[in-house]
A and B are shown apart, each in its own frame.
Chain A
Amino acid sequence: MSEITVGVVVFPGSNCDHDTQHALASFTGVKPVMLWHNDHDLQGAQAIVLPGGFSYGDYLRAGAIARFSPIMQEVIEFAHKGYPVLGICNGFQVLLESGLLEGALSRNRDKKFLCCQTTIRAVNGSTMFTSLYPEDEVLRIPIAHGEGNYFAPPEVIESLEEHNQVVFKYTDAEGRITDEANPNGSAKNIAGIINRQGNVLGLMPHPERASDKQLGSLDGRGLFESLFLHLAGV
């Protein structure tokens, strides 16, 4: 099997870039390459990850300045051509700011920065990022954010649901989608969404932090594995 190259964009202030690199490199046949925000070269990557962190110190709004980084021109073009782009946490915020995904993330409803384990479900298991997740499987994947309260006008939410673009929802330990299981106040318990074309996914939980036995959960691995199977044409 030929090697799969995945680019991880490094913005000033990214802090999950090496965790993501570590998680990607733990898969046989996957080569992560780090892409500096000031470059224009995607170095032959077949998929791009925008990692978590605090790009540009979250100045102005989370993701607002990173969205205009030089490499984002290439990432946006890459996404428009249909190649896979994954945004995790701050990366999700960058995807929303860049218009590749719809909606916005505002401050958590209880005012707190949340760093904790959450349980989620892949409510759409037919995407290139979730094909290995049964829709009823409860996944333990942590969150770490102050601005993860997903918001979009009602007509946008309706359209996302109608087109099966809501991919992850926060649930309780039994997989029920309840208000108590919603950590940050996100509309409809939304934890992750995909674009209409199905190649750009953004989510607040951190799959790279649930990809190593020593971190207490391996449930994030399915997301990366689904993507690699897609890229390998399996």
Chain B
Amino acid sequence: MPYIAKINVTLRQSILDVQGKAVDHALKNLGYRSAGSTRIGKYIEVTINEEQRSEAERIANEIAQKLLSNPVMENYSLELEEINS
């Protein structure tokens, strides 16, 4: 059964998010006084063709750590969903 890994990559809190700052600026210009502290990340979907959920999860974590995120400045979270074909 194939799985779909849904991975969110976000900048660590200690890293200045200049894209988020630019969006904050636009929000202020639009008059949204209560909205702010925007943080921008990436959302990535990867299909993993494995029979076992545990194996799909292992692979998803491995690629998230190895390629999709840089642990020096980013965190990731992932969800694994079964694809019902």
Contacts and interface: CB of A to CB of B under 8 A. Distances in A.
B83 interface: no
Interface stretch (A102-110, A212-220, A221-229): A102-110
B29 to A, nearest CB: 15
B35 interface: no
Interface residues of A, number: 20
B77 to A, nearest CB: 17
A96 B71 CA distance: 12
A182 interface: no
Interface in B50-78: 67-68, 70, 72-73
Interface in A27-80: 60-61, 64-65, 68
A107 B19 contact: yes
Contact of B70 (A64, A68, A149): A64
B72 A104 contact: yes
Nearest to A152: B72
B68 A60 contact: yes
Given A64-B67, A68-B67, A107 B72 contact: no
A81 interface: no
B30 interface: no
B15 A151 contact: yes
B1 interface: no
Interface in A136-175: 149, 151-153
B46 interface: no
Contact of A111 (B21, B42, B70, B73): B21
Contacts of A96: 72
A221 B73 CA distance: 33
Contact of B16 (A61, A68, A149): A149
Interface of A: 60-61, 64-65, 68, 96-97, 103-104, 106-111, 149, 151-153, 185
29 contacts: A60-B42, A60-B68, A61-B70, A64-B67, A64-B70, A68-B67, A96-B72, A97-B70, A103-B72, A104-B70, A104-B72, A104-B73, A106-B15, A106-B16, A106-B73, A107-B18, A107-B19, A108-B18, A109-B16, A109-B18, A110-B18, A111-B21, A111-B22, A149-B16, A151-B72, A151-B73, A152-B72, A153-B72, A185-B16
Given A97-B70, A109-B16, A151-B73, 4 more contacts: A64-B70, A65-B67, A107-B16, A107-B18
